[in-house]
Structure 1
Amino acid sequence: MKLHLNGCLLLFAATMGACSVITPPPSPTSPFFIADARDAKLYQALAKKQEALLARCAESHSCDHVNFTRALVALFENRELAAKHFQKVVAIAPKSRLALTSLLWLRLLENGWSPFWGEGLFAEATERLVRDLLDRELLLQQLMVVKELDAASVEALERELSIRGKQLEELSIKREAPRAEADGAVLQSLQRQVSERDKKIEELTNQLEALKRIDQEMREKTRPIRPSTNAIPP
């Protein structure tokens, strides 16, 4: 039994050695994954979009996410290009979860398909990738919830402002109405005063004219009678 086990181990080692000799290392410019024609077109479009985002990602502080997504797409294009973007993720945010996943991918890309530890590392990298994608999905859902709450809050605020605006308008109208009534009362009072003044002026004018006529009549009555020049002297 012991001899048989040793023989199996020797055979396994020989097989691994033969595989390591026969299997050439992957080319740095070869893709890590192989995409079919349909997916290749989709990934090319996604790569162009990510390249456009890379030009302005600094404004939104999202260069680590954009580089990570670009690196994932590059796995279907070019190992070297994928490694370049994974390295940028680590450089931008070295303590982030994306950086940890990027380091695993870099080890896979550097070492290729090792028969001794590659499968375990690949499984770990795949698990982290799924976790990262799920985290991003959760983050997107949270952002959508916040956006909906913000939209609802803004809508409620707009309704409240509209109601308050109408209330202020009604209050302004109510304030203007007494003012208009007061202004009308003042105007009527002034008009009455002017009318009364005109009446007094007319009355005083009539009285003055009457006094003038009386004075004229009194003067005529009290005027002395001059003797006639035709009278015969005694």
Structure 2
Amino acid sequence: MKIVCLIPARLESTRLPGKMLKKIGEYPVIVQTYLAAKKLNLFDDIWVVTENKEIGKAIEDLNGKVFYSTKPHNSGSDRIAEAAEAIEADVIVNVQGDTPLIYKESMIKLLDCFRNNSTIRVDLASLMTKLDETENANDSNIVKVVVDNNDFALYFSRSPIPFSKNNEVDINYYKHIGVYVFRKEALLNFYNSPQTPLEKVESIECLRYLEIGKKIKMVYTDEFTLEIDTNKDLVNAITYFKNN
């Protein structure tokens, strides 16, 4: 089974413009993410996928591989799918370019979803964790997920799900972490499908997978994560790297 890691990276960002090239310690965000993926030593190959020459140069200066996308894309999955069409692989790992801290144990659990035999086919797998006490389920920057009894995703939303109508029932909210592992076939099916209604209204790409009938296995992790969406996230990441 050939496993290839593709890291999508675009310079434009609504919430934090130019975030991929903002420094965390010695290196920009995208370089820290690339080095974290390389350090795992789990992949047969690693590519950063971008349309931006400055991002590409930051990776090429480290002798890393860059695939320059030539088409406009609505999501990270669309961007890496353009590269996946041209790259030989059985399983594609999508590490978002703004995720500079990746734990090996969590990644192994994701990859095991494709190595283990199961009566239920897994098209893609992703991570989730409980919202901690500093996070708010009403924060639309945090994507929440609900799952079935086998930890397959039922729905993703920027709204708090499930909705609490009965305040006497305890609820755990689970945050989606943007690390994915796909069968290459599932990724290309996604790429060749138009954007779907729920994906558009929520602006959450993994809803397209659900809407076209793909099975998403969610893997729980309680490991600390860093995803940089806002300036506050960037400050937290700088502090973390300075102290670790």
What is the TM-score with the length of structure 1 in the denominator? 0.21
Higher RCO (CA < 8 A, seq sep 6+): 2
Structure having the higher Rg? 1
Query: Going by fraction, where is strand more abundant, 1 or 2?
Result: 2
Query: Going by fraction, where is helix more abundant, 1 or 2?
Result: 1
What is the TM-score with the length of structure 2 in the denominator? 0.20
